[in-house]
Structure 1
Amino acid sequence: MKIGCPKEIKNHEYRVGITPESAEEMIAHGHQVVIEAGAGAGIGAEDDAYRAAGAAIVDTAQEVFATADMIVKVKEPQAGERAMLREGQILYTYLHLAPDPAQTKDLVASGATCIAYETVTDRHGGLPLLKPMSQVAGRMSVHAGASALEKAHGGRGVLLGGVPGVAPGKVTVLGGGVVGFNAAQMAVGLGADVTILDRNPEVLERLAIHFEARAMTRFSNQANLAECVAEADMVIGAVLLPGAAAPKLVSRDMLSTMKPGAVMVDVAIDQGGCFETSKATTHADPTYLVDGIVHYCVANMPGAVARTSTYALNNVTLPHALRIADKGWQEALRADPHLANGLNVWNGKVTYKAVAEALGLDYTDVASALAA
């Protein structure tokens, strides 16, 4: 199979779908790899490193899309990239379709087979291809929020860890999954006063055992949510419904109860965001104010630490990419029902139920695609 990797073109996105080491593994399996010139520059992987691994370097993304049987990326394809997809071509990347009707429409129209990293599962019910980026984003959320809290950046002027004689900042984390756990770890490490809300008693128990007295856990109901948001200097939105749009937990009305200059970091923005007032931002212009509350809603947070993120991502995406290339996508998905959960669009049809429901589209089950 010919596997192609274009340069990412989303604002301030420096990650790359295939590292030179991954390219070498693919070539060792008998596949051809074609890389757009400069695709790895953001992680310090020059074209010569790919050539040394045996990959071919081409000048444009158009050449990659025109010749590759499978496209491997990091972020969802932008409009110009979607226009280059063709029927039967495999797209293997993050998609986050539920809040993105334009992308979904284009992928359906392309006829491509689209496998989304974020809905591939494992035998424990986890999301292994999303997990490393959730870990990165969770940890980064506290860095970003701490910077936004500085007065010069529009915040309250609060140091999260405080100093002797001055209370630390209060951090409320909404969701105790991978993002929330990593955000809480960072906030606790800085000495902040941390509260984590979740609706799953088992998650709350696990968090309470791990953090002991260093962080408080509370059940996420409307009363507790409202109280914690009102008291917080920083709120981190870390909720996830796999493949579906994120629930809007913090309403516009709740902002009026918050401290002026408090910061809201919406890590769920890829899935539409969990604050009613969220809108996607970029690393070039990461924050905005609503009713005096600072919002940080960058949709590709891990792109800022591109080298760490790329290698963490390739560690988990490469094995599945090799199975798809070695066996063909249908046989690979038949052999692995967890990988089959990644199929979101096939042959002009939506094959992930939560996406179809979120966008009001017809749903075709994966079994139909695999039987075709």
Structure 2
Amino acid sequence: MGLGIIITVNGAPDAELAQASRVEVYEKLGETTHFNIYYPEDISDGDLNRLKDNRLGPGAVISILADVNDTQECLVKGPIYSQQIHLEHGGEGSSVLVKGADTSITMDRVFQSVVWTDVTDSDAVTSIFGNYGLAADVFTTSARHLENKHSLVQRESDLRFIRRLARRNGCYCWITSDAAGMETAHFKQPQLEGEPVAELSINFQSPNIQSFDINWNTERPTSVEGLQLDLNTKNDLDGQLAQTPQSLLGTLSLQAITGDVRTMQVSAPADDAGNLQARSQGALMEADWFIQASCRTSLHQFGKLLHAHTIVNVKGAGSRHSGKYLVAAVRHIIDPSAHVMEVKLVRNGWEEAAAGGIGGGIF
């Protein structure tokens, strides 16, 4: 029995390599997507042939596609970077684990020393994505780095530089690929508005999850204090931020729940108040996710793939904890029995306590 997936090598489908014993793909907010492919191994013609197979060698570009409702969706595309090999005497019972990651790891291989002048953060990011032949999906930032003020200095790899810019602008950086192998590099803030892409249901007839774990922690900042000096005009730059700039995934924010003010300090070189405000927003957006949740489902049970950076609706978790969540991570575990998805969610608000009910229609 197969895994219900397609594996391509350097763009060409390979039916033999798709006969793995197990495949795992792990995607997470703003991070590189990694994959593991497990193969049994045995001695054949006096050798361990899988171990010398160039299709699974260093730098071979693998795509893993899942067949969902007669449509192929790419889980990950990128190069192989490692193997873990286990040998048993006589060959039988040996195995090889092939490890790889999306294309972003190629952006972390070379240290760069660049001074970016007269550009915005998004200009620099778009330029770097273009150097790797990636389509760019980039959030537009407004603050400019001028030569006669504070230039934008890069003293790290392209990936580390972009992720530093992402963090200070409240963005995430990640790469996706479509079924045809076309890759898009994203540099975006979380998209919290709009309708959820799917619904996770528990405590209803025909649930698609069997358990749901929730953890909340309110010891987080809810506002920012930030003050800098404009070195040209000698005026104060105000980076104060009274509340989260993000849309809420519930009706009550952390500040409304705690009923007080909890501050953090942002101290960063800035040329104008807008630049400092952007830093404050990025810091507070990162601290915003005071609710974490986790669950487990399968492609058969759920009917579609879940991906990080998307919004889902949770139903049946009680009046407070039902509602919209951001998908923070998904681990796809694919073997002959099932395509399982271990899902982690985050949220920056909860619902006001409602009289009665878990969300209606329990069982």
Q: Structures share a fold, TM > 0.5?
A: no
Q: Indicate the structure with greater strand content.
A: 2
Q: Whose helix fraction is larger, Structure 1's or Structure 2's?
A: 1
Return the TM-score normalized by structure 2: 0.25
- The structure whose Rg is larger is 2
- What TM-score does the superposition give when structure 1 sets the normalisation length? 0.24
